[in-house]
């Protein structure tokens, strides 16, 4: 069984023009082309399209999506990994919805707001294993202790600062300014200052003379390494508008680090 390009566009919530473009760049080939010139797609093509749309939802650009699809040809394996991530996101969003709903009801009804419940779903510990693997258990312990020591207002202010920094990066990237421009370098300086304020990071330890830290060179490598990670990891890339935006952040951080760290 196969479906016409019009059917697939309607079912997938996209457009025939987009599907034709995917064909032209080799991202999604139709299974056959009819005598009328219409493109038709079979089940395998639909699976490929689903993977493309899932990766687009993570903020990846089409060239990177093409690389991902080429690197992992086992669709079932790739989708299984993505499904696990989606389930984690579903659980996190469900907890956030419940906590925000509870806050709204308390505000409207004049009831008591429980700070412990307000941030359920805003789980900063979800990357615990990854942080410990990259930077050591001591780094995670310091950061976790710092986070838990803050009150609700302090946590909210920190999240707002982080979100604003991401939005400013995205706006600068969208505006097309150069990574070495004064505006981009000011953002890079803000970014490093933001990292310095998080206990357990090499930037914070170097500022405080933490044990085991080699000094400015460690901070330079750390900042430049983070920039590369922002591009490579779609979880971070989406904070800066996708691959293009995170690439801009990486380049600006590298220039700043090489000149100042």
pLDDT score of 29: 95
Centre a 10 Å sphere on the Cβ of residue 255 and count the other Cβ atoms it contains: 19
CATH number of 3-73: 1.10.1660.10
Q: Name the residue with higher pLDDT: 192 or 64.
A: 192
Residue of higher predicted confidence among 77 and 199: 77
Mean pLDDT lowest among 30-34, 84-88, 95-99, 143-147: 143-147
Q: Is 231 or 258 the better-scoring residue by pLDDT?
A: 258
What pLDDT sits at residue 214? 38
Q: Is 41's pLDDT higher than 80?
A: yes
Tens digits of residue pLDDT in 218-247: 788 888 888 888 887 777 777 788 888 889
Render pLDDT for 52-90 as a digit per residue (tens, 0 to 9): 988 887 767 788 788 888 888 888 888 887 787 778 778
C-alpha span between 231 and 64 (Å, rounded): 10
Banded model confidence at residue 114, pLDDT cuts 50, 70, 90: low
Question: For the chain, which residues make up each domain, given as ranges?
Answer: 3-73, 76-122, 136-260
pLDDT(11) > 80: yes
Q: pLDDT averaged over the chain?
A: 79
**CA atoms 198, 247, 232, 217: torsion sign:** negative
């Amino acid at each position: 069984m196969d479906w016409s390009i019009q059917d697939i566009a309607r079912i997938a919530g996209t457009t025939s023009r987009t599907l034709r473009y995917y064909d032209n760049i080799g991202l999604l080939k139709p299974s056959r082309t009819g005598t009328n010139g219409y493109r038709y797609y079979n089940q395998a093509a639909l699976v490929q399209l689903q993977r493309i749309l899932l990766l687009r939802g993570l903020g990846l650009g089409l060239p990177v999506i093409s690389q991902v699809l080429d690197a992992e040809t086992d669709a079932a394996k790739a989708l299984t990994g993505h499904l696990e991530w989606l389930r984690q996101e579903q659980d996190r969003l469900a907890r956030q919805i419940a906590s925000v709903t509870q806050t709204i009801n308390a505000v409207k009804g004049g009831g008591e707001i429980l700070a412990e419940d307000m941030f359920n779903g805003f789980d900063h510990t979800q990357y615990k294993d990854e942080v410990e693997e990259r930077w050591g258990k001591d780094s995670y312990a310091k950061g976790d202790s710092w986070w838990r020591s803050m009150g609700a207002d302090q946590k909210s202010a920190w999240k707002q600062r982080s979100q604003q920094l991401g939005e400013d990066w995205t706006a600068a990237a969208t505006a097309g300014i150069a990574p070495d421009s004064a505006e981009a370098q000011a953002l890079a300086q803000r970014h490093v200052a933001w990292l310095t304020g998080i206990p357990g990071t090499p930037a914070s330890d170097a500022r405080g003379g933490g044990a085991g830290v080699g000094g400015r060179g460690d901070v330079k490598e750390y900042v430049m390494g983070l920039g590369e990670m922002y591009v490579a990891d779609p979880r971070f890339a989406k904070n800066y508008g996708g691959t293009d935006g995170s690439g801009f952040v990486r380049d600006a951080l590298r220039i700043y680090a090489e000149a100042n760290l």
